Structures are given as C-alpha cells and as structure tokens.
Structure 1
Amino acid sequence: MHILHIDSAITGEASVSRKLTAEIVARLQAADASATVTYRDLNKGVPAIDTEWFHAVRLAPENPTAEQQKLIDISDAYLQEVKDADVLVIGSPVYNFTLTAQLKNWLDQIARAGQSFRYTEAGPEGLLKGKRAIIAYSAAGTPFGSDLDHASGYLRFILGFLGITDVEFVAADRLAMDRDAGMARAQEAMERIAA
C-alpha cells in the first residue's frame, strides 16, 4: 500500500488537521508494515492555475517554452503522486466555511481532462479509480455536514468526479465551542475507519 499524505493547514504545530492526518497515516502503517508514504505539505505553496498554466498544461503545446515546461512539470508531479497512491490522507481545515486555497490550488492542478477524468458520450468519467481517500476535516465553528460547511461536500464531489469514490471523513468540528467534544468525535470516526 502506498499512501499520499497531504497537509494544507497554515497553523503549523497548532493544526488539528495535521495531528489527525499524522494519526491516520500512523494507523494505516501499523496495519500494513510494508506501507510506504509520500508526504506533501501544500502550505509550502501550490501555484494557482492561471492563463499561463492554461496555455502550457491545458493546451499542451508541442514545443513548450522553458517556462511552460516548468508549469507542466509541476502539475505532472502532483498528478503522478495521486496516480501512484492507493490511499490519500488529506488534511482539510475549514477557513471561511470552505477548504484552504492551497488545497483548492492542488485540486485544480490535478483535475486534468484526459489525465484524471475524461468526457464520454455518457458524461464525465473519473480516471483515478480504485483509490481510497480519508479526509481529516477540522473546523473551529463550522459543523461538519451542515449548510455552513462548503468544504466536505465539495471534496467528496470533486474526488468522485476524478474517480475516487471511496471517501471517508474524520471530522473534528465546532472546536471553538467545545474542543474536547470535537476531538472526541474525530477519535470516534478514527476508530470506525478500517485500516
């Protein structure tokens, strides 16, 4: 089993989602001693897609410039890490009722027609099938799954669009109201996740 461990919180060691992803990965490794891990900290910076990216990556010129090739290589590296993974463990703290900009940028980098999904006569088809995703969701005030939560539903949808339909959440929510209760809910969810 190969695990892709992704963090996106800006809060460093204080991050709840980082603690949760670390524990999830540790549990997966404990259940499978041969498991390997690739770690990606999105807080170190993920380029947002823009016009230059569109011309380099989406339009895929036959003879890209050096700058275009750099953009292609970055996007290819993100996507290859996902393709190589059996399990994705993704830290998704909620900022302003949705996912982090870094995580959205990463999703934009890997959502590529012909690479991670394709359009067919029957509609879009995800190409990243057979993978499992475990999302460590943390929020100070946003209740998981509520009308205020614009992160978890989007993550489930976009991962499914890319073919990853086995999506589970470990949610530590409403931490500002009752941190102990929020962490207890996350631990209960962690226990339910079969390794």
Structure 2
Amino acid sequence: MSTLLKINASLFANQGQSSQLVERFVAARVAAHPETKVVSRDLAANPVPHLDGARFSAFLAKPEERTAEQQAVVDFSDALVAELKAADEIVIGLPMYNLGTPSTLKAYFDHIARAGVTFRYTASGAEGLVTGKKAYIFATRGGRYAGTPYDAQTDYIKIFLGFIGITDVEFVYAEGLNMGEESKAEALAGAHKALEALAA
C-alpha cells in the first residue's frame, strides 16, 4: 500500500481551483490504485503558525534544555515531518497570490525544513534526507506566467523540495483563469487532461 500526502494551500480551502485540481487528481489516482492511502492537510482549515523567533529558537535548543513550550513546538514540527516521511507521493495545490507562494505553504515549509532531520550540511553542501518520493504540484494562476520572469513559484518549489531530498517533481499548470471564461475553460481542460494521464 502506498501513501499519498495531499496538501492544499488555497485560502478558499476545498473551493479553490488548485484544491479542486488536487481532489480530481487524487480521486483518479485512488480509482487507478485502490490500495492508496490518502492523508490530507488543509493549510486554510488548519494553518501552520508562521515562523517567529520563539519557534525558531525552539528548533535550535538542545533537547535536554527545551522548555515545555519549546518542546510543544518541536513536537508539532516532528508530527509534520513524520507525516511527510511516511508518504510515498506528495500532492500540493499551489495557487499564486500576488506573484508568490501562499504564506501558509511557506509556514509549512519552515516547519519541515529542519537541519539534521530533513536535511543536513556536509563538506560538499546541503544534502536532503527526505528521499525516494514523487511530488505533484497543481499550480493555478489568474494570468499566464509559466516560463516568464514573473513565475518565481516554480523554481522556488523545485529548489525547496530538492533541498530536503525530493527531486522528482511534476508540475501541472492552469493559467489564465481570470482572463475570461474561454481562457479559464481551456486552462482547466488542459489541466484535467494532464492530471488524468499522471494519475493512471
């Protein structure tokens, strides 16, 4: 049995276009592979706290010197990491807000990027420790940005996931969603076709 971790980052929870693409992909994936176990994390319904000085200090504190509050922060992060490591596939719904990645997803990333846990530094540089996984990214945008300097998302997501060891990353784009009904319909149809092929 394989485990699929589904992460939705839309502010509109399951009503967001990226979330709907993720749901469609996961349903198709489970239909093709009924043994798949799905674990869901909705960052709108259950947001991860944004990183601040106190939370970061908790990660840096020696285990034997942590306060109860610091241990609670580490326990929360450890649970996210364990959930990620237990997954064979990671599926992320990625809307674009003001040309960037949702802050809720960045907060999640900040809690799973842990030195000695999900990556380590070696003499030749950083080495990711979360390996052997496949990631699917469903990116939705109001305009058309893929392949242009305005698309800072794609490289950031690839670099971050690669940093922790996830290098097999597949993107599906639905762009031009706010450029008229025809553009929206065409973009979603293309994304649906792409995700059905990936889910098989």
Q: TM-score range by the shorter chain?
A: over 0.9
Provide runs of 4+ in structure 1 moved above 4 Å.
Answer: none
CA displacement 1:132-188 (0-9 Å, x = unmatched): 000111111142232111112100111011110110011111111110121122123
Q: Any conservation in 2 of the 1:139–1:175 contact (CA below 8 Å)?
A: yes
The within-5 A match list for 1:108-127 is 108-127=110-129
Find the counterpart in structure 2 of residue 72 from structure 1: 74
What is the aligned residue count?
Answer: 195
Q: Does 1:151 align with 2:177?
A: no
Residues 148, 64 of structure 1: alpha-carbon distance in 2 compared, 3 angstrom cutoff: same
Work out the CA distance in 1 between the residues paired with 2:37 and 2:92: 16
Match of 2:193 in 1: 188
CA–CA distance in 1 between the matches of 2:158 and 2:176?
20
Letter in 1 for 2:102: T
SS of corresponding position for 1:62: helix
Q: Can you give the 5+ residue segments of structure 2 that lack an aligned partner in the other structure?
A: none
Give matches, 1:28-177, under 5 Å: 28-43=29-44, 44-177=46-179
TM-score, reference length from structure 1: 0.94
Identity %: 42
User: The residue matched to 2:152 in structure 1 has which SS?
Assistant: coil
CA contact (8 A) 1:169 1:189 kept: no
Cα RMSD for the two superposed structures? 1.4
Residue 111 of structure 1, CA deviation: 0.7
TM-score w.r.t. structure 2 length? 0.92
Structure 1: 5+ residue stretches without partners? none
Partner of 1:21: 22
Counterpart of 1:6 in structure 2 is: 7
Contact 2:32–2:199 under 8 Å retained in 1: no
After TM superposition, the structure 1 stretch with the greater mean CA deviation from structure 2, 137-146 or 120-129, is: 137-146
